[in-house]
Structure 1
């Protein structure tokens, strides 16, 4: 996850991007002009900046140049200026990637992930999804501001689900990963019991889970869109 600054004067688009990024676990601040964005940049630490070129007061190219005097933070231009020369100018002025409007929010998210990986700013030790936050290094799980107390098995189960977010894990895979292939005596009900206990701790409504979704007849998957 990363701390991201969105610099976009279109409030609806800014809000839409913000919602998507927060769903993927990022922390987001929004600026709507050159001056507001520069102030946010100078008073915060960001791992990535999404920057529109056509701002109401000054050009995003100028802001990119100003930021580059002080920081190597990755910058992705998001702009309607989509000619070849516009794109070349973006890279000449110091951007790391260039996304022309209109664009798919999913494609944008993938481009962000690629830039974070390439620049080494992606933090794989922290996972965030909705209100759930996991520090894998410290083995700390929080829901909002509340620290959750999980058993060792519940924590391993949560880690398995979140580190494979977007994939369906069968009961057999979960049994093998948590108890080992040699633990043939472990009953399949162990998965259901621990899953139910984990849901009771992380879900607002365990009977209508937001995070741990059942794929009937197959297994389980982490339901919230997220990004490590």
Structure 2
């Protein structure tokens, strides 16, 4: 499974593409404008971005240039502009592929898989002597024994593992796990899930090594020994 950012101002097309990609097991965050895309980009470390060029509040090309200043996440442009100069400009701005509209959902799915194969390493396992997290298979083992997580617990853990080295604020996590899916919850719900994750993962939940609180800010995923 990969974390994908889809930026598409056409609501119906965006929902259709999102649904098609989710059939392959990907987690897809959908933004309808540049402002939403920038907010999600800052909050989540995505594996791939699918980026429309014409957006209501800016250009996807400019957005790509900004993204490239912080990360080398692969980017596939989705656009009705199929002129050679537009394609060349897209690649020069840092795009990895270019899909023109209209396109068949299966074609896009295969393009996504092809880019992910080229750009993602085969190692999707994070481990130390105590804990093993397989991001591809969505499994967790503690001292070799499988740990059963709920769907929400897994999403929360995966976001933190993929963003390890960064502090995720409580607001970021609430937006990533719940608000993106159209559900709105209070911070107490997040605290409950953090506590349950610690009980399942930590050797000593009262002195967490993996799900670490950064006081006044949020949480970070601790270093694997």
Please give the alpha-carbon distance, in whole angstroms, between the structure 1 residues aligned to 2:80 and 2:58. 16
Shift of 1:44: 1.1
Please give the alpha-carbon distance, in whole angstroms, between the structure 1 residues aligned to 2:33 and 2:150. 34
Q: Tell me, yes or no, if structure 1 residue 32 matches structure 2 residue 44.
A: no
Please give the alpha-carbon distance, in whole angstroms, between the structure 2 residues aligned to 1:80 and 1:145. 37
In structure 1, what is the equivalent of residue 118 of structure 2? 118
Shift of 1:93: 0.5
Contact 1:25–1:127 (8 Å) recurs in 2: no
Runs of 4+, deviation exceeding 4 Å: 121-128, 133-147
Q: Secondary structure at the match of 1:30?
A: strand
Runs of 5+ unmatched residues, structure 1: 148-228
Q: Tell me, yes or no, if structure 1 residue 44 matches structure 2 residue 41.
A: no
Question: What's the RMSD between the two structures over aligned residues?
Answer: 2.5
Contact 1:47–1:121 (8 Å) recurs in 2: no
Runs of 5+ unmatched residues, structure 2: 126-133, 155-225
Q: Tell me, yes or no, if structure 1 residue 106 matches structure 2 residue 116.
A: no
Shift of 1:135: 6.4
In structure 2, what is the equivalent of residue 66 of structure 1? 66
Please give the alpha-carbon distance, in whole angstroms, between the structure 2 residues aligned to 1:94 and 1:49. 12
Q: Secondary structure at the match of 1:88?
A: helix
Q: Secondary structure at the match of 2:38?
A: helix
In structure 1, what is the equivalent of residue 84 of structure 2? 84
Please give the alpha-carbon distance, in whole angstroms, between the structure 1 residues aligned to 2:14 and 2:152. 26
Shift of 1:142: 6.7
Q: Secondary structure at the match of 1:21?
A: helix
Please give the alpha-carbon distance, in whole angstroms, between the structure 1 residues aligned to 2:66 and 2:36. 13
Summarize the alignment of residues 1-228 of structure 1 with structure 2, pairs less than 5 Å apart.
1-121=1-121, 123=124, 126=135, 144=151
Q: Work out which structure has the larger RCO, using CA pairs closer than 8 Å and 6 or more positions apart in sequence.
A: 1
Contact 1:51–1:78 (8 Å) recurs in 2: yes
Shift of 1:138: 7.7
Per the normalisation by structure 1, the TM-score is 0.56
